[in-house]
Each structure stands twice: as C-alpha cells, then as structure tokens.
Structure 1
Amino acid sequence: MRELPKTAQAVIVGGGIVGCSTAYHLAKLGWDVVLLERKKLTSGTTFHAAGLVGQLRSSANITQLLGYSVDLYKRLEEETGQATGWKMNGGLRLACNQERWTEVQRQATTAHSFGLDMQLLTPKEAQDLWPLMQVDDVVGAAFLPSDGQANPSDITLSLAKGAKMAGAQIFEDTKVLSVDVEKGIIKGIETSQGRIECAVVVACCGQWTREFAKSVGVNVPLVSMQHQYVVTEPIPGVPKNLPTLRDPDRLTYYKEEVGGLVMGGYEANPLSWAEDGIPKGFHYSLLGSNYEHFEPLMELSLGRVPALETAGIKELINGPESFTPDGNLIMGEAPELKNFYVNAGFNAFGIAAGGGAGMALAQWIAKGEPPFDLWPVDIRRFGAPHFDSDWIRTRTTEAYAKHYTMAWPSEEHESGRPCRKSPLYEYLKADGAVFGEKLGWERPNWYADIAQGEEQRDIYTFARPNWHTPVGREHAAARSSAVLFDQTSFAKFTLKGPDAVDALSWIAANDVDKPIGTLIYTQMLNDHGGIECDLTCVRVAEDKYYIVTGTGFATHDFDWISRNIPKAMNVQLVDVTSAYSVLSLMGPKAREILECVTRDDVSNESFQFAQARKIGIAGCPVNALRVTYVGELGWELHLPVEYASTVYAALHEAGREFGLRNAGYRAIETLRLEKGYRAWGSDIGPDHTPEEAGLGWAVKLQKNTAFKGRSAIEQQRSHGIKKMLATFVADGDIILSGRETIYRDGVRVGWLSSGGFGHTLQKSIGLGYVRNAEGVDADFVLSGEYELEVATHRVPCTVHLSPLYDPRMTRVKA
C-alpha cells in the first residue's frame, strides 16, 4: 500500500460520488487534497443508487447546482477517458389529476423562470416519448430535454480519475480513527494507516456522516432510510434513449437499464434503518429484499407499465440511503467547528446533485464562501430540535413519505410536533390558532373562528385556501384597529463587551453607534455586498446590544456574527432566545391600548419610531421596541417568559374595547407585501445587495466608517446595478406564490421571489428582481410593460418601486 502523505491542505473523508466530486473540484482549484475511503470507492451507498439526474428544484440556485452536474457529466468522459454511462435522454413527469396538473404547470413556470426548457405535453405526446406506458388516466405531462441518467459507479470513478489528474491523492482501505482538534482548531487526522497534518476536514461520508461529525461536536441531522427498486430483464420495446419517467401520483419512477427497466418509488410508509447505529464492516452491502413492503409500489406501477407484469425480475435492490428532515442536502462549514465542512444527506438524489455539490463546496472551502446563495441546503438552517436523533427520524420519515406527494403552497410538516412552545401556546390554541412550525417552534399562522364553525386546520389547495378569509379578517384588524402577534420564536442575542460598538460597526452595514435606547435596522454584508443577515439591533448600554432576527435564522445569524467579530476585540455574543417572549402589538389603536396598561409615556413625542425603552405592564418589566414589519403603528414587547401570560391577559383586557384580536404569521406576510418589506431567504440574501434591494438608505456610506462589504457597495454606487427589486400587482383572481416568471416588454427578466394577496388592495402582490445585463435603474423598471407567467399562462401586471400602502397618507395603489 502507498504511504500516506504527512500533510495536506484538506482531507476529504468518504469515497462516494460526493467525496470524489469535491476532491475533483478542489484539486482543480490548486489545493493539495487527500481523499480517504475506509473500504472501496462507491462501496457505501453510491454503488446501489438508481442514477436518475433531474434538475428542477424550487430554488433557482439549487436548480443551477443540478444544472452544473449535467454540464459536467456531458464532458467528463472525454476529459478523463473513463466511462460515465451519461445519457441526456430527457425526463418526463406525469400528472393524473387536475391538482397535479396545476402543480406541473407551476413547476413548468418555475423552470422557465430559471431558464430551463420544460415543455408541457398531451398524454399522447408523452406516450410517444415513452411507448411502454398506458395513459388512460394521464391529464398531461412535463418534459425536460436536458435531464438524463448516469451509471453511479462509473461516474464516480471518472470523477476520481479526474481528481488524480489534477493532483489529488486517493487512498482506499484507509479508515479515519479520529480528528485532532486543539482549542477549536483542526490539527490533523489519525487513520488506520497513519497521521495526516491538515487544517481542513470535509465529511462526505453519506449515512455515516452524522456519527463521524458527532465525534468532533458537529451536528448533522440525517438518518438512514431503506429505499428499494426493482431491476428487470430486457423488455421488448424499451429503447436505449428512453427518457427517465416520474409518476408521482403512483409514487414511482423509471429509467432504462440494459434494455430493461429500473422501477422504484417513495412509499407512504417508509422504513428507517440502523436506528441503533450502522453495523461495522457494512460496505458493498445491501439489505434483504422486502417484497411485501414493495408490493404496493409494484401494483401501482403495473397500472402504468403493463409490461412489468410479465417482465423477468433480475433483482429487488434494498439499499439504505441518508435522508434529512426537510428533504434537502446538507452542505457548508459547520457552525460548531471552523474548517470542518459537510457535504452529505442527499435524499436519493446524490447522483443528480453530486457534480454541482462538489463544485459548490470546493469553492466554499477554497474561497471561504459559497459561489452563490445556498441557503436552502446550508447546514446552518438547522438548530435546537435537530440534535435529537429520534426527532430527526420522525420528521425525516414524514419528509421521505412526501417525496412524491403534492407540494402544496404553504404546506406544514405534521410530525415531531409540538416541540418548542411559547408560554401562550394553550391560550392561542383555545382562541382558534392554527399553528405552523419553524425550527421546532410552534407559531400561530392564523386563527379560525371556532364559534362560526371554521375548521381549526389547514386545508391545502392551489386555489384560495380555507385560511384566506380568516387571514383577511386579521389583516383588516391590523389596518383598522389592532392585533397581537405572538413572536416569541424570534431569535434573540446579546452582544456585550468593551468593544461591542466597534465590533458591530464592522459587521453591520448601518450606523449602530447610536445613543442608548436607539433601535437600528441593518443588514450584514459579505465582501461582495450581498446581504448575509437582515435584523434589528438595540443599543441597550454603552457596551451592549440586543439583537433580534428571524426564527429560522438563529443558527445562521449567530454564526455569521460570531465569525466576523475581529479577533482582537473583546466582546461576547450570547443566544438568549429562550429567555424572552415577544408580543407584537400592531395597528392604529396600538398606542391607546398600550396607554391603558402602562404608566409610562408612550406618546409619539416621547416614544418615537426606532426607539426602545423599558416600561412596566401589570407588574412586569417589558422592553418595548417601537418598530413594525406590517406597516402600522406598533411595538414589539420583549419580556421574560415568566411574565408572558400576565402581559398577554392585560393587553387583551385593555384591548377589548378597541377591537384587539390575535393574528398570525400569514397575516404578517400579506401585510408586509403591501408595504414592500423584504424577507431574507426569499427577497434578499447573499446574492442581493442593499442597492439592488432598495435598501441603500440603510447603509452608512455617508460616514467615514469601515464595515464589511463597504467597497462593494461603493463600487455599485459608482457603476450601477444589473437587477432591482420591484413590486408587481396582478388581478385579485390570479394566485401568486413566488417563482412566477417576470416579462418586461415580452422579454423574460426574472421571477417573483415571493407572492401573496393584499387584503387592503384586494389584489395579488409579488416581489421580484428585474434583471438586465446592460444595467437597471428606476426609469428602466418603471418604463416597461409587464406580464407574469402564472402556471404557464401570461397575465398583465403593474410594477411599483414604492410601497403600495402608506397609513400616513391612507394611500392605496391599484
């Protein structure tokens, strides 16, 4: 056996398609890379993957990542001389009922938004492409010509060869024993063949990743699930160029294999595996075929492909694969340990994602940042609930079972709930709250009128849902009287120390060196000016700030802030989320209600917008922040959790005569759309700058203060921008949910980043970027004639760069 090198820049652990792809791309970037595989390349789970390569996802950047895989697989065999089995034979997706057809039409529009040529076909046209199937129940189909399939082992070996050609070293039969970490710094790896000094470790271990990462204190939320597919003998009439086929209403997929078919699927009652740990020595291994469990899928498939009834069966493959709680892969630098990277949890689309995931993580490692916004797959999207393996398994089982079910707008997971609850949970439930969940927190989405017989549950549809009218009531109350939102789930941090001002001034784009009691809305930028965080900071003392951000961004934002505190500065960041409840009192009657419960002066003259002050309510110390995300007068009331029920009761008692009512997060969404308020993760993120998002006013360029991202913003101010966020308004009958295609003067210029309904306007509203390679300004945006493609149909719309609703002027734009 070759001797291990003594040192390397990066050690990749795992020799499946993802590990080999990461090594390939990192070596091509000039890095000294060593890949270690405990047994043989592909011997974990790659060797038994089905090998379908689809591209479309709900995120433009994840679609781009998968598209990169296709581009790579097209050229890889020529580059390396190693066969890949790549065939770009296209991919079909069937719809067998009207709701599925609506979903497919919306998927086609998403594809068009992202530049993919997804074509809608009649049942007969689909059958012409896939002659073995019967189409009596098919309403329509979508065809993506650039989808395809590959041989998983061949493509992995080709990537490995390419990695070696670029200078990477690959060692099989080399088990990692431990990672050497001293005072939070990676020093090296101990293996069965010796030690390698290195500063970077990359975990690409598939279903073994969770246990490996746990050894260094890193949490990777994935579990092993059993996944079965059948391989047939050759079937007459199966052409070599047969497209891949997905039949979600029958929970099944198909691809051609040596003149026969591979057929698998995602059953509604999936089986997990290795709940007590993966057996030692498990490699090139399969699980026992479970014919009884596979039989329902087989029966469903026979109605689509009758030839399967008489086809010879080569084998029923049952291979475990890693799945995650939300069905997305896990990528990025671990928040718990610097220079420990993860590329795992591929949910049975590791072949489709492998090329792009390797490229993206390699660039992340080499450049210290991802090549584009990868938030949907970022490891930092997880948090407190994701440490418990039982919770992960429960949620992941649900996610697996939903792989081919309808992807409804605003659909919530049901498993593993309730997990994290506000002290007011039971009160809100009794008032008709219908809860959603984010990062384990139960959050009221809307309130049913139980007395009037409204069902206290979500009923999903592509039409107007059952919560449309109740949310309209809450929306109207926010505009005319007052509402109370329980936003206890907000992530909350304190930043304290002698250098707190200087540290936050470097990280924040807005001016945070303000008097005590000032609330500052700010972005935090990367070196390209992209928005990494969008939050509020309160100066509570000379050396202390209170920071509030969105529920789902708790891990991400804490990690971003902590990593960007300059090393020499004396400051501590502490997560205090669980210590405080938040009640947001919003609406034109908010002040009158607040005056009934506190002796403190909350008049506009005394308590102005963007100020924070401690006030007393019913014997409780309350940090009142005058701020709004709904476009009305209001306060966020932050208070220790033990006081929550007391303050809640006092507010409702005082608010009864003013028409105060509880309201939920779906009303927040409709209200913020009318004001054009941005949401991180959809409207703004690392790929968008404040200049592009219309937030340049919140950047302190007028002060001669250095801050991260300043030079990029200055350059944009000088040279202009190529995309600009705008608001689009369509007829109220049009349902917008995001990712609808934007056309300006008949030319595709972007897509909606978010969409919904404005109950004040009684119109459908969307936010999205207008893009133009030659540059964009306000005149360009406002001078065009616009249409939106909604479920493949174009509808006229109007465009706006200012808020649609302004309570100070009682102005509503149509």
Structure 2
Amino acid sequence: MAGQRVVVVGAGIVGASVAHHLTEHGFADVLVIDARSEGTLPGSTGLAPGLVGRLSSDRDLARLALDSVELYARRSGGFDGVGCLEVATSEAQLAAFADDVRDGAALGIEARVITAAEAGALAPGLVDDAAHGALFIPGDGTVDPVAVTAALIDSARGQGAQFRWNSPVRQLEEQNGRVIGVRLDNGVVRADTVVLAVGIWGPMLASTVGVQVPMVPVEHPYAFTTPSEDLTGEAITMPIVRYPEHAVYCRIHGTRYGFGTYDHEPVPAALGATAGRRFRDKVFEPALTRARKLVPALRTADVEKRINGVFALTPDELPLVGPVPEVRGLWLAEGSWVTHAGGVGKLLAEQLLGLSSGFVDPARLAPARFAGWSADRVAKAALPHYRGIYLTH
C-alpha cells in the first residue's frame, strides 16, 4: 500500500483500534476524522458499560475478544480482570454451563461451575438467594472504554497517524465505482481507502454512495443506582454478574451499582446527533423493575440515572469487517462491541496490508456475506437477536 492514504471515519474505540494497528505495522499515512472534539465520546463508546466477556458461543467472537483483552491490558486504564459470574436460576441452566466449560477449555479460557454460596461470596448482593449455582469465568472483566480509546489514539498519533476533530463527514465521494474521499463542510478530503468505523451512523454514510450496510440500530437501557453504603470505604472489586435466563447484567461502578437488561421488545432507533436517546419509560421501566427484583442489592437501591444508548445489530450477531463489494476502496469496521473492538481493528488492518495472523477467518465477518439482502430482510433477521445477543456477548 505504498503511496496510499487511508481515511478512517470515526475515532471511537473501533476507529482508534484500526489506526493503532495500521500504524503499528508501519503504515503511517492514516487520517482519522471525527465529528466530536477531542476528549469527548458522545457515541456508543462513551455510553458502553465496559463489560468484557471473552467466552462466546461463537469461536471467532471469542478469538476477537481474547485479542482485544490482550490489547487493552497493555494500555493505561485498560482491562481489569475482575471475572464474570453467569448465575443460574434453574437446574436446566446450571446443567447447560457444562457446555460453556468445554467451549472455554477448547479456547484456552478458564471457566468452572461453582455453588450459589461461592458465587454469593464473590459478588455479595448481586447473586439471587434462589440461585442454583453459577459459571465463573475468572479471566473476564471490565474496561474503561474512554481511557482505552484515548490510549489507542495516543499510540496511533505517536506512530504517525493524524486526527482531525470537529469535522463531521457529510458524505462519501465516489468516482467510477471507487471511493475517492470524504466530504466535509469545508471541502473534500482525498483518500485511496475509506474505513467506516462510525457505528450506528455507518449505514447513513455508506448510503451516499449507494451501499447498504446490513445493520439495525436499537435502543437499550442501562441504569446507575445512588451510592451504596455497602460499596463505600475501601475500593471494592467484584465480578461482573449476568443472569442469562433473564437477560440481565450488573456490575459495580465505584460506589454505585450499574445494571442493564435486554428483557423487553427490541426498539429500533432513528439516527440522531449522538448515540444517547430519551429514556423510554413505558418500554424500559418494567424491564428495569424486573431486573431489580432479581438482584438483591438492587431491590432497595434508588436509581439515580437512567441511560438509553443505541447500538447496532447485524443479521448474524457478528461484526462487519472488510471491503464492501459494491464500491472499491470502501471498507467497514462496523457492528462491533467494545468487547471485540481491539480484535476488529487488528483484523481490518491486516486485511488492508495483505497480512494474516489467522486468528479469525475474514470471510465470516466480510460485509459481502449479506450481498443482495433487502433492508426488510436484514431487519427481520437482526431484531430477533436483540435478547439472544446477550448470551453471545
């Protein structure tokens, strides 16, 4: 790619990862463009609760997560391996954990079944009294998405990448079936390759050159409690806690509990200026109430803040990484969670540079796998995954 210029649109954790990996391989002609000012993350990265679960029912997702954890752990304010508990509220779920233990062993991810009492001791207040046991994954944990993104930006910049802030990309520029740049308010920035890493705004930008990105943005609730006396004093560390049968997850944020739920009908989202939306009381509040009844510490805690964040679903729950078939020079790094962003950036950089470490099959994540799908077919396939995606991530 000598003499080629790559423009990455989006400086969230995915775009920062792409820039970091490109420059780490010695390719420095990288320009990252973002609509925000440096130091702020109003997009999905800034709203992410920071849970990182490596074990997945999909082997490639697990590999992306493992690679991401390795990257984050080397960054200031990065990965904190507090572990994860998957709590079973039935004997059937407890028995199903045996499959997860086997899957983990095949991937080199430690996972073991423990008793309800052991789980309660690891995460006091977050394990239901009626639990039948839990799956404990000690190597999972949390990450500060803002801090890691800043560290990746610093790394990319130190290796030659340039960043342009406060510069919304209005459309892509195409000529003879090839992308030639991006249009800003003050003109066109030329590029040989354009990588879209803008999350939920990817479909809008791609549509300006007639490309349909197979994703559906959906809204999702997350809440923070008021400070808890149980969490004050010395810094307390405890695992992430998930309830797979109920699609509920929770963690501690300093002296507060944070929790989210997928236990409601999916709500497709219209695009806005940020990834945050007005909280939908009628849809989300009943689901949060069910979550609070399930988790002991949440039953009496007051909720201080409610967030409605937007993320994107794909038809098969896998990210979109690679070139689009319709327009030469246009690449996607879309549909990725923080959990997999480090690995997604590595995979895309390797493909662009003609390298391969073989840790993930690029064909499985290629945007071309949905070539010819209508928007209606994409939505019908993607939306049913809203609750199920919790089990994979």
Query: Cα deviations across residues 636-678 of structure 1 (Å, max 9, x unaligned)?
Result: xxxxxxxxxxxxxxxxxxxxxxxxxxxxxxxxxxxxxxxxxxx
AA at the equivalent of 1:236: E
- Residue in 2 aligned with 1:319? 309
User: Who is 1:38 aligned against?
Assistant: 35
1:377 to 351, 359, 365: 365
Cα 1:58–1:309 change in 2 (3 A) is: closer
User: How far apart, in 2, do the equivalents of 1:342 and 1:322 lie?
Assistant: 14
**Secondary structure in 2 aligned to 1:250?**
coil
State the alpha-carbon separation in 1 of the partners of residues 17 and 117 from structure 2.
39
Residue 282 (structure 2) pairs with residue 292 (structure 1): yes
Hey, what's the Cα distance between the residues in 1 that align with 2:365 and 2:392? 21
Matched, 1:398 2:387: no
Cα deviations by residue, 1:719-763 (Å, 9 ceiling, x for unpaired): xxxxxxxxxxxxxxxxxxxxxxxxxxxxxxxxxxxxxxxxxxxxx
Partner of 1:88: 81
> For 1:360, which of 347, 351, 354 is the aligned residue?
347
SS of 1:100's partner is: helix
- CA apart distance, 1:134: 4.3
Separation in structure 2 between the aligned mates of residue 298 and residue 217 of structure 1, nearest angstrom: 40
CA distance in 1, matches of 2:176, 2:356: 23
Give the aligned partner of residue 179 of structure 1. Answer: 172
In structure 2, the partner of 1:104 is: 97
Match of 1:146 among 135, 139, 147: 139
Residue identity in the other structure for 1:298: L
**Alignment-derived partner of residue 216 in structure 2:** 223
Structure 2 counterpart of 1:340: 330
**Alignment match, 1:121:** 114
Contact 1:120 1:141 in 2 (8 A): yes
- Distance in 2 (alpha carbons) for counterparts of 1:400 and 1:377: 19
Offset at residue 370 of structure 1 (A): 7.2
Q: Quote the residue 1:72 is aligned against.
A: 71
Displacement after TM superposition at 1:58 (Å): 2.7
| 2:119 is the counterpart of 1:161 | no
Q: Deviations over 1:260-313 (max 9, x none)?
A: 111001123121111xxx24xx13x62112233223333332333222232232
Which has the greater radius of gyration? 1
Determine if contact 1:235/1:307 at 8 Å carries over to the other structure.
no
**Partner Cα distance (1:256, 1:366) in 2:** 40
What displacement does 1:8 show? Answer: 6.1
Q: Secondary structure at the match of 1:320?
A: strand
Residue-by-residue CA offset, 1:159-191 (whole Å, 9 max, x unaligned): 111111111111111122333322223333332
**Kept after mapping to 2: 8 A contact 1:180/1:187:** yes
2:75 is paired with a residue of what secondary structure?
helix
> 2:225 matched to which residue of 1?
232
Q: How far did residue 61 of structure 1 move?
A: 3.2
Q: Cα 1:268–1:326, aligned 2, differ >3 Å: closer, same or farther?
A: farther
Secondary structure of 1:392 counterpart? helix
Gap change, CA 1:406 and 1:340, over 3 Å in 2: closer
Q: Deviations over 1:29-83 (max 9, x none)?
A: 1221000002235222211111101111233333121111111111111xxxxx4
Q: Partners of 2:254 and 2:59 in 1: how far apart?
A: 34
Distance in structure 2 (CA, Å) of the matches to 1:113 and 1:182: 47
* Contact 1:134–1:303, Cα closer than 8 Å, also in 2: no
Deviations 1:363-409 (A, max 9, x none): 1111166743134432222133x332x332333221103334799xx
Aligned to 1:246: 242
**d(CA) in 1 for partners of 2:325, 2:392:** 33
1:167 and 1:329, CA in 2 relative to 1: closer, same or farther beyond 3 A? same
1:127 Cα deviation from its structure 2 partner: 0.9
What is the aligned counterpart of 2:201 among 208, 230, 252? 208
Alignment match of 2:259 (pick from 259, 263, 274): 263
- The whole-number CA distance in structure 1 between the counterparts of 2:88 and 2:329 is 45
**Are 1:231 and 1:263, in contact at CA under 8 Å, matched by a contact in 2?**
yes
What SS does the corresponding residue of 1:113 show, helix, strand or coil?
Answer: helix
Secondary structure of the structure 2 residue equivalent to 1:30: coil
Partner of 1:560: none
Give the RMSD, CA atoms, in angstroms.
2.2
Q: Specify the code of the residue in structure 2 equivalent to 1:39.
A: R
Question: Using a 3 Å threshold, how does the CA distance of structure 1 residues 312 and 268 change in structure 2: closer, same or farther?
Answer: closer
Once residues 43 and 337 of structure 1 are traced to their aligned partners in structure 2, the CA distance between those partners, rounded to angstroms, is 29
Equivalent of residue 13 in structure 1, options 9, 14, 18 = 9
Report the Cα offset of residue 23 of structure 1: 0.9
| Separation of aligned partners in 2, 1:182 and 1:293 | 45
Q: Secondary structure at the match of 2:264?
A: coil
| Residue 307 to residue 183, structure 1, CA distance change in 2 (3 Å) | same
Contact preservation (8 Å) 2:174, 2:181? yes
The change in CA–CA distance for 1:166 and 1:289 in structure 2 (over 3 A counts) is: same
Given that 1:95 and 1:101 are in contact with CA atoms closer than 8 Å, whether structure 2 keeps it comes out as yes
Q: Aligned equivalents of 2:327 and 2:122: distance in 1? A: 50
TM-score by length of 2: 0.91
- The 8 Å contact of residues 68 and 340 in structure 2, kept in 1 or not, is answered as yes
Conserved? CA contact 1:96–1:140, under 8 Å: yes
- Per the alignment, in what secondary structure is the counterpart of residue 39 of structure 1? coil
Distance 1:189 1:383, change over 3 A: closer
Map 1:663-702 → 2, pairs under 5 A: none
Matched with 2:56 is 57
1: CA distance, partners of 2:132 / 2:299: 24
State the Cα deviation string for residues 180-217 of structure 1 (Å, max 9, x = none). Answer: 32222333333224333321110101001112112223
- Could you tell me how far apart the structure 2 residues matched to 1:148 and 1:201 are? 33
- The verdict on how the C-alpha distance between 1:177 and 1:382 changes in structure 2, with shifts beyond 3 A counting, is same
Spell out, residue by residue over 1:431-450, the C-alpha distance to the aligned partner (whole angstroms, 9 max, x if none).
xxxxxxxxxxxxxxxxxxxx
Letter paired with 1:145: P
**2:18 aligns to what SS in structure 1?**
helix
Q: What is the distance in 2 between the residues matched to 1:15 and 1:373?
A: 25
Could you tell me how far apart the structure 2 residues matched to 1:236 and 1:180 are?
56
Q: Which has the higher strand share?
A: 1
Check the 8 A contact 2:227/2:255 in 1, yes or no. yes
Change (3 A) 1:205 1:234: same
Amino acid at match of 1:314: E
Structure 2 segments unaligned to the other structure (5+ residues): none
CA distance in 1 between partners of 2:357 and 2:167 (Å): 29
More relative contact order, 1 or 2 (CA 8 Å, 6+ apart): 2
Q: Quick check: 1:124–1:135 contact (8 Å CA) kept in 2?
A: no
Provide the C-alpha distance between the structure 1 equivalents of 2:94 and 2:266, rounded to a whole number of angstroms: 26
Q: TM-score, normalised by structure 1?
A: 0.45
Helix, strand or coil: the match of 1:94? strand
Describe how 1:625-704 pairs up with structure 2 within 5 A.
Answer: none
Question: Which residue in 2 is equivalent to 1:651?
Answer: none
- Answering whether residue 288 of structure 2 is matched by residue 301 of structure 1, we say no
Decide whether aligned partners of structure 1 residues 336 and 30 sit closer, same or farther in structure 2, where only a CA change above 3 A counts.
same
SS of the equivalent of 1:46 reads helix
Alignment of structure 1 residues 773-784 onto 2, 5 Å = none
Quote the residue 1:199 is aligned against.
Answer: 192
Q: Is the 8 A contact 1:8 1:34 kept in 2?
A: no
The answer to whether the 8 A contact 1:8-1:33 is kept is: no
Taking a change above 3 Å as real, the CA distance of residues 376 and 107 of structure 1, as seen in their structure-2 partners, is farther
Give the C-alpha shift of residue 109 in structure 1: 0.6
The secondary structure found in structure 2 opposite 1:108 is helix
Give the AA of the match of 2:32: L
C-alpha deviation, 1:357, in angstroms: 1.0
Unaligned runs of 5+ in 1: 1-6, 78-82, 408-814
